Structure 1
């Protein structure tokens, strides 16, 4: 198993209220030249958690940090107009993210939870993940 020291939270950068699936993200990432979906987990608007790339495989979600991180993406992150960043997480997504991150921290207790925006000039995940999950 690879060494994991980061869990990086992302948003799919899709408009509020619209459903997308792991298959959609997989297609988008393949169109960008990735071998498959770059995230390890995707949290749908209904709170269901779906596997992306296996944890044992290096992700493709945060340049310079993929080798030792797990990428978690929630569907949403933009206002309904599809242009402005917005924390669009549903209550179900918030609960699912907390449960998933709690499990990941049990498995990888030394991993820090951060937002993609901590490592890139982006608003992703449209909320301060580092502050929100600092106590996990």
Structure 2
């Protein structure tokens, strides 16, 4: 069993409203990035459904230097529909509810883990919202 000390939230950095599936992300990570597997453990679709992408026993490929002891939760979206793909909190109400659900479940399994946004570890806007609005779950 891996020791998990961080839950790291991500966005797919895709325009608001664009549908993406686990298979779309897997194809991008494996085929385009040449990774061995999909980077995230969970992906939250626009409708709020939570899809497991990677078994929690396997380190993700999502946050350089922090993969070994973390779980990655990603939501579809994170950018405006403009030509520059400007950072934007595009979470639907269903995605916001799904975050509460998955983060609550993960906190029960890994009570020592802390919550983070990808941007805390990389020069990125990801996940395009302040994850610390969910800190109450981790208290």
Q: TM-score, normalised by structure 2?
A: 0.95
Cα displacement (A) at 1:53: 1.2
Which residue in 1 is equivalent to 2:9?
Answer: 9
Report the 3-state secondary structure (helix = DSSP H, G, I; strand = E; otherwise coil) of the residue aligned with 1:94: helix
1:56-135 → structure 2 map (5 Å cutoff): 56-81=57-82, 83-129=85-131, 131-135=132-136
Structure 2 unaligned blocks of 5 or more: none
- Runs of 4+ with >4 A deviation: none
**Per-residue displacement from partner, 1:5-43 (whole Å, max 9, x unpaired)?**
000000000000111001000011012011111000000
How many corresponding residue pairs?
A: 135
Report the 3-state secondary structure (helix = DSSP H, G, I; strand = E; otherwise coil) of the residue aligned with 2:27: helix
RMSD of aligned Cα (Å): 0.8
Cα displacement (A) at 1:128: 1.0
Structure 1 unaligned blocks of 5 or more: none
